[in-house]
Amino acid sequence: MSVLRDDFLWGGAVAAHQIEGGWQEGGKGISIADVMTAGGNGIPRRITDGVLPGENYPNHEASDFYHHYKEDIALMAEMGFRSFRTSIAWTRIYPNGDDQEPNEAGLQFYDDLFDELHKYNIEPVITLQHFEMPYHLARKYNGFMDHRCIDFFVKYARTCFERYKGKVHYWMTFNEINNQGADPCAHHMIQEGAILTTDDNPDNERMMYQSSLYELVASAEAVRVGHEIDPSNQIGCMIAYEPLYAADCNPESYIEMTEANHKRYWYMDVQCRGFIPNYMYKYWDRMGFDLKLSDADIKALKEGTVDYIGFSYYMSQTVAKGENNPHFNFYERKNTVNNPFLKKSDWGWPIDPEGLRYALCVIDERYNKPMMIVENGLGAYDQKLADGSVDDTYRIDYLKAHIKAMKEAVAEDGVNLLGYQMWAPIDIVSASSGEFDKRYGFIYVNKNNKGEGDLSRSRKKSFYWYKKVIASNGEELD
């Protein structure tokens, strides 16, 4: 008998901007993902001043799911998927973000997509904002620095909840809302909050906290509205969970670790509990940040707590006390150190399956809410062999170890886990680097970093492995 529930939501996850392409089709507007150039392994992406000629914007075509979705969903159904997580591109629904009326062609695209999933009994799990706010909102309002963006987001969310009532039950508001918390760099600030800034702007951290507060209000308002429209809606947060370990058993390292956790996870505290924790108020006082939040905003936070906790898990980080750091103020780029116990991926991401069990336990202890692992996977350089096959045993090994740890958390620690969506069942554009050759999929897409290839799809070795895993409800991992 399986340790997982019978209706466990096995599946995979992607995001609209990384898979769809069709950036100008069906009346879609320009999103912030459309102005991000391709970077590389260790080479950051650039954010350009609008869409400029001669630049390479990998999200414009991505995997062309916009035209291939039927074929792709059929392949996922062949693997036995019970759920598929994707996002709605805000710019397909409200091309500028502040439009009066929604765009019918965009709404229809997702109606067709959700119908296609239901044809195979695949449950859609939908994120409303996955790193792609309308570019117009960034230009005109500086994104979530402006309180009006809360209303724009809630209007967009309402449109989606009303339109897809009965078709979508599992929602999430903002993808990895907490990434900016420990690293207020331009990349995170534009992805998560549509703030047009540069890495050397000394005001980044204050702006990041201000816009994060408004995003949290927008998220809470959306949760409240979503419940009003359909009380059976399950609406979650989405957190990038990276357990932060202390580098040694020096008690000071544990204090540093605690402070580091505050910075990454205060978002989850607010979304699950409905109020801002004292430690954040203290930090903002210490830093002299005068942040705006009205009584109505505070009330909204209280009334919009989430039903479940969605989180991504790729890696853990290890923290050490920096010099001249009397308050143990953590900054991800300065205070993380190598963990000698862990191997790393080709992109330097520490591989730590036990950390997933640890994450499940900690989140369960803190909030006692249902959880869903909505991303977990390995980005790797795959080689297509002469016969067209891809032997991605390393991907199978990675996923196997993580699924095993996940099952232990269920069997031994009793965590309430709703599902597991691996990232990403089909090759798509990398969010951090913009590469296509950083592949995660069970399904190979014939395209490379230069954009060459006919976009044809084929099954990797891991495709057959995952099919077996789902069919046995996680029992057959070898």
- Residues annotated as catalytic are 176, 375
Q: Which of residues 423-442 bind ligand BG6 (CB under 6 A)?
A: 423, 430-433, 438
User: Is 379 near ligand BG6 (CB under 6 A)?
Assistant: yes
Do 32 and 137 form a contact (C-beta atoms < 8 A)? Answer: no
Question: In the range 236-265, which residues lie near ligand BG6 by CB under 6 A?
Answer: 240
Do 133 and 92 contact (CB within 8 A), yes or no? no
Q: Which is nearer to ligand BG6, 312 or 473 (CB)?
A: 312
Sign of CA dihedral 163, 63, 349, 39: negative
Nearer to ligand BG6, 284 or 394 (CB): 394
317: phi then psi, degrees, rounded to nearest 5: -130, 160
Residue 122 DSSP class:
P
Interface positions, 175-204, toward ligand BG6 (CB under 6 A): 175-176
Amino acid identity, position 161: F
Element (H, E) at 404: helix 393-413
Q: Is 449 in the site for ligand BG6 (CB under 6 A)?
A: no
Q: For residues 352 and 124, give the distance between their C-alpha atoms in angstroms, rounded to a whole number.
A: 28
Q: Which is nearer to ligand BG6, 28 or 85 (CB)?
A: 85
Compute the least distance from the CB of residue 176 to ligand BG6, in Å.
5
Which of 45, 67, 104 lies closest to 455, judged by CA?
67
Binding-site size for ligand BG6 (CB under 6 A) equals 14
Half-sphere exposure at residue 286, Cβ-oriented, CA atoms within 13 angstroms: 10
Instruction: Kindly state whether residue 86 participates in binding ligand BG6, applying the rule CB under 6 A.
Output: no
Smallest separation, CB 384 to ligand BG6 (Å): 20
Q: Which residue is nearest to ligand BG6 (CB)?
A: 432
Residue 212: CB partners within 8 Å, gap ≥ 6? 144, 177, 180, 181, 192, 193, 267
Binding pattern for the stretch 91-130 against ligand BG6, x by CB under 6 A and - elsewhere? ----------------------------------------
Alpha-carbon distances, residue 352 vs 193, 342, 349, 355 (angstroms): 29, 6, 9, 5
Closest CB 217 distance from ligand BG6, rounded Å: 22
For ligand BG6, which residue of 4, 8, 12, 15 counts as binding (CB under 6 A)?
15
Quick one: 348 or 453, whose CB is closer to ligand BG6?
Answer: 348
Residues that bind ligand BG6 (CB under 6 A): 15, 18, 175-176, 240, 312, 375, 379, 423, 430-433, 438
